[in-house]
Structure 1
Amino acid sequence: MSENHRARSVGIGRAHAKAILLGEHAVVYGAPALALPVPQLTVTASAGWSSRTPGDPGGVSFTMTGSPSRPMMTQASDSLSRLTAEFKTAMGVADIPRLDVIIDGAIPHGRGLGSSAACARAVVFALADLFGHDLSESAAFDLVQTAENVAHGRSSGVDARAVGATAPLRFQAGRASELSIGCDGLFIIADSGVVGRTKDAVELLREGFQRHTGAQERFVRRATQLTDEAGRALAGGRPQQLGARLTDYHDLLRAAGLSTHRIDALVEAALTAGSLGAKITGGGLGGCVIALTQPVQAREVTARLHEAGAVQTWAVPLRGLADHAR
């Protein structure tokens, strides 16, 4: 490949974390989900031409900062390699030297915060930047979904949308729209320190549906009701009602066997400390808890969460998101 085809020597791409407010699991069955961007947790990808002897022309190597486990690193490399191949095909890029991609991220892996989708989005935009391509949101979504389907199997698409969103989203059947924010308050996200097991949770839920006639319909109907009520409460400035729907959704997931003793303890700690509502967020069987809290209670809630076993916490203010979305 000639030098004049290289728009840059290094391409940079960025993305951020997300948290699901309501709609986990049910979204795969056609129900709506509400997703919250978490701009405090970011991923940056740098893509450049390898300085090593090109023993694998057209190949790509991925380096992640930090120390993710070997299985996670292998899974990430597989999905990102597929992503890179799809990018080359979609953008008409061929016969290139070997690439090195470095991913620097602050999103903990396996916690339901969209780490894999954020990494994929950052890589997509780093490659687009490197090759001087303008990338539409729809094209970026399709490419990130390629990686997500390798990483997680059937993916709803909510993560692929939310890790690039600037405002909370309502997502249903592949379509995303921005949510109206009429509430003050903030969400506190607490990391249980335990890697979630999304695939196990999906299978557990599916087995439950198969054992009990009508269980899937009841689950999806209840999830849809809670999610729609939460969306209206968020828009209408009713934080107490929004919080109550969060807790109700946690009860739905817990009844399906998708919570854990540690997660339940974190939810209880947040509620005892004055949160308006709290629930597990993400695939389940580990991961994080999200709690809706008034600012005056935030210090107490955060302290109680750490006492109950949270290894780290983050605060996402609704007002900041509302201002950012304008």
Structure 2
Amino acid sequence: MSENRRARSVGIGRAHAKAILLGEHAVVYGAPALALPIPQLTVTASAGWSHRGADGLGDVSFTMTGSPSRPMVTQASDGLRRLITEFTATMGVDDSPHLDVIIDGAIPHGRGLGSSAACARAVVHALADLYGREVTESETFDLVQTAENVAHGRSSGVDARAVGASTPLLFQAGEVRELDIGCDGLFIIADSGVVGRTRDAVELLREGFQQHVGAQERFVRRASRLTREARHALADGRPEMLGSRLTDYHDLLRAAGLSTRGVDTLVEAALTGGSLGAKITGGGLGGCVIALSRPEQAREVTQQLHEAGAVQTWVVPLKGLAKNAL
């Protein structure tokens, strides 16, 4: 098939969700973070040419399935418009025809699961498919970051990497490497149903650091140690230690004021159900909880989470994410 420009009438791109195991907030201060891909929650973007004129907001129209709030749609489309402008400039393609972009996703918005980054990555690959162009992983990352920085302000880059990863990742100071997995078990992700407030959480943490001498250094040092220990536990096949570090990290975020009563209730419910450890995941002040469970306890943990108010849950088996998994 010809790879010339506009070789296709519709381009398709895909990406998936992610969760942060440990390292939230501290990662922007140079600490390590561990990220988990969630392949069950996907986003598909389709991009095609339209004969209609521009809609007054530029030469691209966005349609998002589901019912995200209008401010989120506006915020997301602002970032995606910037991404498309950067894509056409970087790839040297004609940006004059009107584009219709449809985004069909199962990732709930504002829950710390990388919805905006996954949408952006899917759009990058849909455009590449439409124009018949190859994009490197580095180019994809830069383009996703363009959208992320519009949506969230300064972005660490964790989401942009993790929404395209097939295995858990270690992220630190812009460098990424795949994590070794020696543990069996399941991660259960529970949606509190409350939209997280990442920007508010970032500002709350910053204010706390400014008010207390040495608070930032203590927070980053503690976060770094817990994340390193969790990484080794994951590699060495010590699920109990991994679980305890998850719970310890939740306590760190809760002490900084970044949790909520509803999220704390979900963490306690997971532990009551037999989870090896649980914590908030993502920016905080709402969003999701992630819990580590042995397979035989997963049903009870999930039941306890729903009884405590989780509106939906997803299970990510560690075995399926190992680099050498069959």
Give the TM-score normalised by the residue count of structure 1: 0.97
CA–CA distance in structure 1, aligned partners of residues 124 and 60 of structure 2 = 13
Q: Cα deviation per residue 1:2-44 (whole Å; 9 max; x = unaligned)?
A: xx63111000000000000000000000000000000000000
* Preserved contact between residue 15 and residue 119 of structure 1 (Cα < 8 Å): yes
CA–CA distance in structure 1, aligned partners of residues 170 and 195 of structure 2 = 26
SS in 2 for 1:205: helix
CA–CA distance in structure 1, aligned partners of residues 38 and 95 of structure 2 = 38
Aligned to 1:308: 308
CA–CA distance in structure 1, aligned partners of residues 241 and 49 of structure 2 = 52
Aligned to 2:144: 144
Are 2:121 and 1:121 aligned? Answer: yes
Aligned to 2:42: 42
Are 2:71 and 1:71 aligned? Answer: yes
Q: Note the C-alpha offset of 1:256.
A: 0.1
Q: Which amino acid aligns with 1:246?
A: L
Structure 2 runs not aligned, ≥5 long: none
* Preserved contact between residue 57 and residue 97 of structure 1 (Cα < 8 Å): no
CA–CA distance in structure 2, aligned partners of residues 111 and 144 of structure 1 = 18
CA–CA distance in structure 2, aligned partners of residues 55 and 299 of structure 1 = 49
Are 2:206 and 1:216 aligned? Answer: no
Alignment CA distance shift 1:319-1:55 (3 Å): closer
Q: Which amino acid aligns with 1:121?
A: R
Q: Note the C-alpha offset of 1:52.
A: 1.9
**Structure 1 vs Structure 2 CA RMSD:** 1.5
* Preserved contact between residue 55 and residue 61 of structure 2 (Cα < 8 Å): no
Q: Cα deviation per residue 1:153-189 (whole Å; 9 max; x = unaligned)?
A: 0100000000000000000001110000000000000
Aligned to 2:82: 82
Are 2:216 and 1:195 aligned? Answer: no
CA–CA distance in structure 1, aligned partners of residues 153 and 21 of structure 2 = 22
Percent identical among aligned pairs is 81
Are 2:100 and 1:100 aligned? Answer: yes
CA–CA distance in structure 2, aligned partners of residues 185 and 55 of structure 1 = 49
Alignment CA distance shift 1:324-1:148 (3 Å): farther
Q: Note the C-alpha offset of 1:94.
A: 2.7
Note the 1:280-319 alignment, pairs <5 A.
280-319=280-319
Note the 1:119-198 alignment, pairs <5 A.
119-198=119-198
SS in 1 for 2:242: helix
Farther off after superposition, 48-57 or 234-243: 48-57
CA–CA distance in structure 2, aligned partners of residues 86 and 203 of structure 1 = 29
* Preserved contact between residue 88 and residue 95 of structure 2 (Cα < 8 Å): no
Q: Note the C-alpha offset of 1:58.
A: 7.1
SS in 1 for 2:11: strand
Q: Note the C-alpha offset of 1:53.
A: 3.9
SS in 1 for 2:182: coil
Give the TM-score normalised by the residue count of structure 2: 0.97
* Preserved contact between residue 17 and residue 163 of structure 2 (Cα < 8 Å): yes
CA–CA distance in structure 2, aligned partners of residues 295 and 55 of structure 1 = 51
Q: Note the C-alpha offset of 1:51.
A: 3.3
Aligned to 1:227: 227
Are 2:26 and 1:26 aligned? Answer: yes
Q: Which amino acid aligns with 1:51?
A: H
Q: Which amino acid aligns with 1:16?
A: H
CA–CA distance in structure 2, aligned partners of residues 112 and 294 of structure 1 = 24
Aligned to 1:264: 264
Q: Cα deviation per residue 1:182-219 (whole Å; 9 max; x = unaligned)?
A: 00000000000000000000000000000000000000
CA–CA distance in structure 2, aligned partners of residues 283 and 246 of structure 1 = 15
CA–CA distance in structure 2, aligned partners of residues 205 and 309 of structure 1 = 27
CA–CA distance in structure 1, aligned partners of residues 82 and 257 of structure 2 = 33
CA–CA distance in structure 2, aligned partners of residues 57 and 26 of structure 1 = 37
Aligned to 1:5: 5
Alignment CA distance shift 1:324-1:121 (3 Å): farther
* Preserved contact between residue 57 and residue 96 of structure 1 (Cα < 8 Å): no
Count of residues in Structure 1 that have an aligned counterpart in Structure 2? 324
* Preserved contact between residue 12 and residue 44 of structure 1 (Cα < 8 Å): yes
CA–CA distance in structure 1, aligned partners of residues 258 and 235 of structure 2 = 29
* Preserved contact between residue 54 and residue 60 of structure 2 (Cα < 8 Å): no
Structure 1 runs not aligned, ≥5 long: none
CA–CA distance in structure 2, aligned partners of residues 324 and 79 of structure 1 = 36
Q: Note the C-alpha offset of 1:146.
A: 0.4
SS in 2 for 1:5: coil
CA–CA distance in structure 1, aligned partners of residues 298 and 21 of structure 2 = 18
